[in-house]
């Protein structure tokens, strides 16, 4: 295995590790937002830390990492957190309110920064990331996402997860592959709030989607999010019909 580095938007780097141990192949992607204060979105799993940290060091020195953030607490999102905190002495955890209250104080070897409120912007110097609460979307009570404002890049975590050996960045459809992967893994938490939460993200009008598992997407992010919301709506209605 190796970790490939690609700049998917100005100063936003995708660190991608492909494994064929999962059917059809699967990518684990972290995103480095290289502001003056560098931020990493997703720590990656502990076992991938040697690969991912070597990849990040090709872009910036590890010690320059200031923030480690992720969509929710789970092995691939937060597993290597403490390895990063050890490697980068100035790094702190930056996640939302539930993430700090439920897990942050217990799981991190250093106290997290005060919780990022819904809509709060973290100014990285040259880059600005806005935290958005998305509870249970696509999964995890503490779920949230980051929107990098200067490049209109939505770091959308597990949303749009799709498997396969994919390019770093695509302009092709990502909704169809994500829907097929949902059929396979059922990784999303379907509630009445799922589609409306995804539609709220569409109002950000992202030009790039940084997808944690799969290719990143360049193009009309709002249209992709609306189509993903339609897919979730269809699934939710079908689940209600099936229960009646
Ligand atoms: Fe997850
Ligand atoms: Fe994930």
3-state class (DSSP) for residue 15: strand
pLDDT grade, residue 22 (50/70/90)? confident
Determine the pLDDT at residue 189: 97
Determine the pLDDT at residue 24: 83
Determine the pLDDT at residue 62: 97
pLDDT grade, residue 1 (50/70/90)? confident
Cα 158 to ligand 2 centre (Å): 5
Structure tokens at 44: 């990656």
Cα 103 to ligand 1 centre (Å): 15
Element (H, E) at 82: helix 81-87
Counting ligands in written order, which one lies closest to the CA of residue 76? Answer: 2
- Summarize pLDDT for 26-72 with one digit per residue, the tens: 999 999 999 999 999 999 999 999 999 999 999 999 999 999 999 99
Element (H, E) at 233: helix 221-243
Higher confidence at residue 24 or residue 84?
84
Beta bridge partner(s), residue 9: 12
Cis peptide before 138 (omega within 30 of 0): yes
Cα 155 to ligand 2 centre (Å): 12
Cα 182 to ligand 1 centre (Å): 13
Cα 244 to ligand 2 centre (Å): 32
What pTM was computed for the model?
A: 0.97
Cα 12 to ligand 1 centre (Å): 21
Determine the pLDDT at residue 132: 98
What mean pLDDT comes out for the span 149-158? Answer: 98
What mean pLDDT comes out for the span 94-119? Answer: 97
Tally of residues, the chain: 244
DSSP E strands in the chain: the ranges are 3-9, 12-19, 26-34, 38-41, 65-69, 92-93, 121-123, 128-133, 144-148, 153-155, 169-170, 208-210, 216-218
DSSP codes of every residue in 166-199: --SEE-S-SHHHHHHHHHHH--S---TTHHHHHH
- Summarize pLDDT for 187-238 with one digit per residue, the tens: 999 999 999 999 999 999 999 999 999 999 999 999 999 999 999 999 999 9
Determine the pLDDT at residue 117: 98
- Summarize pLDDT for 128-138 with one digit per residue, the tens: 999 999 999 99
**Percentage of the chain with pLDDT > 70?**
100
Cα 242 to ligand 1 centre (Å): 26
Cα 39 to ligand 1 centre (Å): 19
* End-to-end Cα separation, the chain, in angstroms: 47
């Amino acid at each position: 295995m190796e970790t490939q580095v690609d700049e998917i938007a100005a100063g936003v780097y995708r660190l991608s590790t492909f494994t064929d141990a999962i059917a059809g192949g699967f990518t684990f992607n972290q995103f480095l937002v290289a502001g003056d204060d560098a931020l990493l979105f997703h720590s990656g799993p502990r076992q991938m830390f040697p690969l991912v940290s070597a990849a990040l060091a090709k872009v910036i020195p590890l010690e320059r990492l200031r923030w480690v953030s992720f969509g929710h607490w789970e092995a691939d999102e937060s597993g290597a957190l403490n390895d990063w905190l050890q490697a980068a002495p100035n790094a702190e955890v930056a996640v939302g309110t539930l993430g700090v209250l439920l897990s942050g104080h217990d799981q991190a070897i250093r106290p997290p920064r005060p919780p990022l409120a819904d809509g709060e912007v973290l100014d990285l110097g040259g880059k600005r990331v806005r935290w958005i609460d998305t509870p249970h979307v696509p999964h995890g009570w503490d779920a949230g996402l980051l929107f990098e404002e200067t490049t209109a890049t939505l770091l959308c975590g597990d949303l749009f997860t799709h498997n396969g050996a994919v390019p770093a960045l695509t302009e092709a459809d990502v909704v169809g592959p994500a829907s097929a992967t949902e059929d396979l893994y059922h990784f999303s938490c379907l509630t009445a709030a799922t589609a409306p939460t995804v539609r709220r993200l569409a109002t950000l009008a992202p030009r790039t989607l940084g997808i944690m598992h799969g290719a990143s997407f360049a193009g009309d992010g709002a249209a992709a999010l609306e189509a993903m919301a339609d897919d979730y709506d269809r699934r939710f209605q079908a689940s209600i019909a099936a229960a009646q």
